[in-house]
Amino acid sequence: MSNFKMAVVVIHGMGSQFSGVEQPSSALTFSRELHKRVERFVGADMGEVAWREVVWAHVLQGRQKEYLRKIKRRTGYDDVREFVVRNLSDAASYRQTPDGTDKTYEAIHAQVDRVMEDVRVQVGDQAPVLLLAHSLGGHIMSNYIYDLQRHLLDTGQTLHSTPVRNMQTVAGIMTFGCNIPIFLFAYPEASITPIAPPNSALPQGLRFQTWWYNFFDKHDVLGYPLRDCAPAYDLLVASREIRDVSINSGNIFTSWNPLSHNGYWKDPDLYEPVGRMIRNMLRVL
């Protein structure tokens, strides 16, 4: 039996966050800097925390790289074009299609499946989970939880056999540089339904009033507050279930411009709240 009492599951956003062979979810790649700072903040108790990464860039990375190679002679292969292909095409490709021919949505969710099964095996069927999601990763995790909750509503049955796999043990969600609002314009505002609190299988002490913290920098053109994107989100903000937190992400060279989108990983305005949330969860366990 492991010594882990809870899990932190981290998912990256748009772009080539990882290259090379697929690694275990326990490997520290894109979240290494955040983990280092959180571990220093929390101290020895981090030994009770299973830190796991959801890596999904490779689902699209191969095709993006091959396309850039094919067009290089006709268009040039500059950094801006690579940025557009590797980042914006991630957002464009991650969608459900009515005819089911586009499998990217399912393939990315399969990576979340794999990590959550790791959490179940290593921490337990009812493992308390803290989700950390950067950029497009916030949209992915929201959809992943929404699909599980919709399946339960439609069928009366959970999709999986354990609470942790059904995302019913999530004590907290912390999104940063989140762009969920820009994916909602295709729907009438009144029809937009956020996820319900994903904590129904947790003890009362872990059902925090604010279960979703959304960090954004006003200079980050890819990060947005959740308030004002739809009336249902406004209700969650008003009830303090969701809290939008404006921070100044990055350093002297990046905090005042769009490069702040990648500054969250090392910023104390993010890693200190993450550390406090971990402490609060461990205090109850």
Please tell me the predicted confidence (pLDDT) of residue 17: 59
Is 16 domain-assigned? yes
Is 1 domain-assigned? no
Please tell me the predicted confidence (pLDDT) of residue 15: 62
pLDDT tens figures, 116-168: 999 999 999 999 999 999 999 999 999 999 999 999 999 999 999 999 999 99
Computed over every residue of the chain, the mean pLDDT equals 88
Is 133 domain-assigned? yes
DSSP 61-109: HHHHHHHHHHHHHHH---HHHHHIIIIIHHHHH----TTS---HHHHHH
Average pLDDT over residues 49-69: 79
Please tell me the predicted confidence (pLDDT) of residue 261: 73
Please tell me the predicted confidence (pLDDT) of residue 43: 98
The CATH number assigned to the domain holding 86 equals 3.40.50.1820
Report the domain count for the chain.
Answer: 1
Instruction: Please answer whether residues 206 and 128 qualify as being in contact, where contact means their C-beta atoms are separated by less than 8 angstroms.
Output: yes
pLDDT tens figures, 70-128: 777 777 666 666 666 666 655 666 777 666 666 889 999 999 999 999 999 999 999 99
**DSSP code for 257:** S
Is 66 domain-assigned? yes
Above 60 in pLDDT, residue 18? no
Is 27 domain-assigned? yes
- Residue-range definition of the domain harbouring residue 135: 6-284
Please tell me the predicted confidence (pLDDT) of residue 91: 61
pLDDT confidence tier of residue 280, bands split at 50, 70 and 90: very high
Is 115 domain-assigned? yes
Encoded tokens for 124: 């337990």
pLDDT tens figures, 211-253: 999 999 988 888 999 999 999 999 999 999 999 999 988 554 4
Please tell me the predicted confidence (pLDDT) of residue 59: 82
Decide which of 16 and 70 is more confident. Answer: 70
Above 60 in pLDDT, residue 255? no
Please tell me the predicted confidence (pLDDT) of residue 97: 67
Above 90 in pLDDT, residue 279? yes
Decide which of 97 and 197 is more confident. Answer: 197
Please tell me the predicted confidence (pLDDT) of residue 205: 97
For residue 13, give the nearest of 170, 256, 183 by alpha carbon: 183
| C-alpha–C-alpha distance, residues 68 and 82, integer Å | 7
Please tell me the predicted confidence (pLDDT) of residue 66: 61
Q: Which residues contact 256 (CB under 8 A, 6 or more apart)?
A: 219
